[in-house]
Amino acid sequence: MKISKYRILGLVGQGQFGQVFCGCHRKTGQIFALKNLDRHRFPTHKFLRELRFLLLLQHPNIVTCHSLEHTRTGRYLVMDYCEGGTLRQLMEMQAAPWVESGLKLALDLLAGLEHAHSRGIVHCDIKPENILLTAKPGGWLARISDFGIARLSQELAEETGNTGSPAYMAPERFYGQYSPASDLYAVGVMLFELLAGYRPFSGPPGQLMSAHLNQPVKIPPQVPPEFHGCILKALQKLPGRRFHSASEMLAALLEAQARWLEGQAPREQSEKVGFSPIQGRLRTEGKAEGVRQLGTVRSPIVGIAIVDKQLIWATQTTLTRYVSRQSFNFKAPIQALLPYQRGCLAVTEQEIYDLKLWGLEATPQRVAQFASPRIAAVEPQGRWIATATQGQPLQGSEFQIVPLTGSRRRKTGLNLSLAPRQLLALDSRHIAAIAAVSPTETLIQILTRRQTSIGVWRLPVSMDRAILGNSPYQLLAIAPHPTLADTTELILLDLKPFRLRRIVLDLAPPVCVAVTSWGYAVGHRSGWIVLLDGEGTVVGRLDLEDFRGLQALIPYQTSGLIASVFHQDRGGLYLLDLRQFEIDLVF
C-alpha cells in the first residue's frame, strides 16, 4: 500500500471510536485532521455510506470532510483541521460566563444545523465536545463535527443499548426517536450552559433521563432575561413546541441579542472581553510587601539574561555583568539577548557576539558579521544561528544557517518569499520563521537546519512578538487585540500537534512575558503581573507598586522573577519571590 500523503504531526485526541491525528500534506503543507475509525466497529460499507452524507455537507460552520485515505497503518477520514480545539476545552478555560462570544458560537452552530437539516440530515449528538473551533481575527468560528459519525454511532448505540451523551439528549431521544428538534434541544442545553456556567440538569444517567423527561427548567439570575424565552422554547419537552427550525431559533436568538446589546452600553471592560470576576477585581489581590527602593541604572534595560549563574543586562549599547560590574560597549544598539543552554548571544543589527567566555576574556567574542541588517535565532545548545535579512515582508529575505561549532563553512542562503519578522529555533533541527502578511494574518514557515522548507501555515491572527513557550514546539505570541483597545491578546500556539489558544488580557500593549517552568508571567508597565499556567489559564494577578515602569521579565530559579524597571529616569533590577511575595532590589 502507498505511503500516506500526510506527515503526522501528532495525536490530537481519542474518541470512543478511534484516534484523531493532526497531519500536514506532504506537498502543499496544508494541515488536516485524520480520523482513524475502528475497522471492526465501522465496517467499510457502512463507512462509505456515511461518507456520502459527509461529502454532501459543505458549510463554513460544519467541519468539511475531504476524502478517505487508505494507508499501511489504517483508514482515515481526511477533514478540515480546527486548531482551536473543542468548545468544551474553551468552556473549561473560561472562568466566568461570556455572553457575547458564547452567543456568537451558538449562532454559528445554528447556521450549520440549518444547512444540514435542510438536507434532511440530523446530527443526533450535539454537545460541546463535537463543536470545534477555527481561528478568525479577534475570535473563533464554531464548526460542527462528527455529522454522519454521530448518526452511525447512534445506530450502533441502538444495537448495543448504549446511547450518546445524556446531558444534551432531548426527551424523545431516550425512546430512540430523533428529529431536527432533538438537535435544537441540545443547542438549548448548550446555550443554557454558555450563559449560566452549568447545565440545566445534572446527575447520573438515570437521574438525567428523568430530569429531561419531567423536570422544569430553572434559569438562574446570571442569565440575562432577554435570553430566557429562547432557552425555554428550545428546552420544551415536546418536540412540536420547540422552534420549528434552526433558522427560526437563530432569528429569535439574534433578536434577543439585539435587545440585550441595547441595554449594555456602555459595557464593563470585563464583560466585553469575557473576563472572570477574579480578573476584573483589580489592584487588591496579592499586593506585595516591600519598601520602595530605587535602582541606580540611568537608562532603560532592554534585555536581561543569566549566563553561567551570572546576571547580565543590556542597556542601549552597553552590556553589564552583575558580579564584576564589568561592562562592554557595542558600536550599535543591542537588539536582543539570545540565551542558549550554557551561554547567551548578544545581537546587534549586523553583528553577533557570544557571551559564554566573556569574563575569562576581556571582550565578548564576535561570532558573526553580516553585510546587511539581520534577525537571528540560536540553536538550543548554541551549535548554530539561523539568520534572515531584515526588510519589508513582501521584499523577501535570505535565510541562512551560520554554524558556531565544528566547521564554520556557511551554505549559500535560501530565498524566502516573505521577510520574517522573527526567527525561533524550535529544536536542534527546526526553525520557525514568522512573517506578518497583514495586520491580522501571520505566516509561519518551518525550515530545517539544512535550509529547506517543510511547511507554511497561514493563521488569521497577528503575532507581533513571539517567543518559545514552556513546552516543546510551543510558541507564545503577543499582539494588540484586533478589536478591543487597551487589551492584549496572547496567542499560545502548539505546533505538534497544531493547536491555537487565545488569551485576552485587560492590559494595554505593550506587555513583557517571562516563560517559566510552571507557565508564564506577563508584566505590564503599570506594575501588574498576570500569572498563567502552561495551558494559558490565569492563575493569579499581582499589583506591584515597585514595578511601575516594568520593562522586561525573566524567570529566576523555580519561583522567582527578575524584573527590569525604569521609572522617572531611574531604573533597576528587582527580584520577586512569588512564594513569599517579597521583592528585593538587585541593582
Task: Tell me which of 4, 6, 9, 20 binds ligand ATP, using CB under 6 A.
Answer: 20
Residue 389 has phi, psi (to 5 degrees) of -70, 145
Q: Report the residue number, 17 or 518, with the smaller CB distance to ligand ATP.
A: 17
Q: Smallest Cα–Cα separation from 12: which of 499, 536, 493?
A: 499
Cβ–Cβ under 8 Å, residues 270 and 506: yes
> 3-class secondary structure for 325-368?
CCEEECCCCEEEEEEECCEEEEEECCEEEECCCECCECCCEEEE
**Contact call for residue 23 and ligand ATP (CB under 6 A):** no
Q: 3-class SS at 569?
A: coil
35 is in an annotated binding site: yes
Phi/psi region, residue 103 (left: phi>0; alpha: psi -120 to 50; beta: rest), is alpha
Is the CB of 51 or the CB of 585 nearer to ligand ATP?
Answer: 51
Residues 82-121 that bind ligand ATP (CB under 6 A): 82, 85-86
Among 9, 24, 33, 512, binds ligand ATP (CB under 6 A): 33
Tell me: does residue 17 bind ligand ATP (CB under 6 A). Answer: yes
Provide the minimum distance between the beta carbon of 89 and ligand ATP in the complex, in angstroms, as a whole number: 7
> If residue 74 lies in a helix (H) or strand (E), which one and from where to where?
strand 74-80
397/474 with CB nearer ligand ATP:
474
Stretch that binds ligand ATP, among 13-21, 230-238, 399-407, 443-451 (CB under 6 A): 13-21
Determine the interface stretch with ligand ATP among 79-87, 90-98, 241-249, 283-291 (rule: CB under 6 A): 79-87
**Interaction of residue 246 with ligand ATP, rule CB under 6 A:** no
387 contacts 399 by C-beta, under 8 angstroms: yes
- Judge whether 530 and 512 are in contact, CB under 8 Å: no
Residue 389 and residue 374 in contact, taking contact as beta carbons nearer than 8 Å: yes
Range list of H helices, 311-463 = none
User: Is residue 327 near ligand ATP by the rule CB under 6 A?
Assistant: no
Output 77 or 314, the one with its CB closest to ligand ATP.
77
Binding pattern for the stretch 56-75 against ligand ATP, x by CB under 6 A and - elsewhere: -------x------------
Among 321, 405, 402, smallest CA distance to 355 is for: 321
Residue 9 binds to ligand ATP (criterion: CB under 6 A): no
The span of 9-17, 155-163, 194-202, 472-480 binding ligand ATP (CB under 6 A) equals 9-17
Comparison of 149 and 479: residue with beta carbon closer to ligand ATP: 149
Q: How many CA atoms lie within 13 A of 380 on its CB side?
A: 9
Q: What's the closest the beta carbon of residue 569 comes to ligand ATP, in angstroms? A: 51
Q: Which is closer to ligand ATP, CB of 89 or CB of 348?
A: 89
Rounded distance between C-alpha atoms, residue 499 and residue 459, angstroms: 11
Cell of 547: 514595578
Q: Does 493 bind ligand ATP (CB under 6 A)?
A: no
Contact set for ligand ATP, span 115-154 (CB under 6 A): 129-130, 132, 145-146
Residue 42 and residue 36 in contact, taking contact as beta carbons nearer than 8 Å:
no
Residue 399 interacts with ligand ATP (CB under 6 A)? no
Among 62, 79, 297, 352, interactor with ligand ATP by CB under 6 A? 79
Q: Which is nearer to ligand ATP, 15 or 540 (CB)?
A: 15
Candidate residues 8, 10, 15, 440; the one interacting with ligand ATP per rule CB under 6 A: 15
193/506 with CB nearer ligand ATP:
193
- Contacts with ligand ATP: how many residues (CB under 6 A)? 20
Q: Name the H helices within 147-227.
A: 149-160, 180-196, 205-214
Identify whether the C-beta of residue 572 lies closer than 8 Å to the C-beta of residue 585: yes
CA atoms of 522 and 547, how far apart (whole Å): 12
Q: CB-wise, 500 or 552, nearer to ligand ATP?
A: 500
What secondary structure letter does DSSP report for 120?
Answer: T
- The CB-of-126 to ligand ATP minimum distance in angstroms stands at 11
Smallest distance, Å, CB 119 to ligand ATP?
A: 20
Environment class of 477 (CB within 10 Å of its CB; exposed 0-12, middle 13-18, buried 19+): buried
Query: What does the alpha-carbon distance between residue 509 and residue 465 come to, in Å, rounded to a whole number?
Result: 11
Sequence-ordered strand ranges (E) for 213-291: none
Distance separating alpha carbons of residues 156 and 148, to the nearest angstrom: 12
Q: Which helix (H) or strand (E) holds 425?
A: strand 422-425
Q: Does 12 bind ligand ATP (CB under 6 A)?
A: yes
- 527 binds ligand ATP, rule: CB under 6 A: no
Nearest distance in Å: CB 235, ligand ATP: 22
Annotation: binding site for ATP: 35
Annotation: binding site: 35
Interaction site with ligand ATP (CB under 6 A): 12-17, 20, 33, 63, 79-82, 85-86, 129-130, 132, 145-146
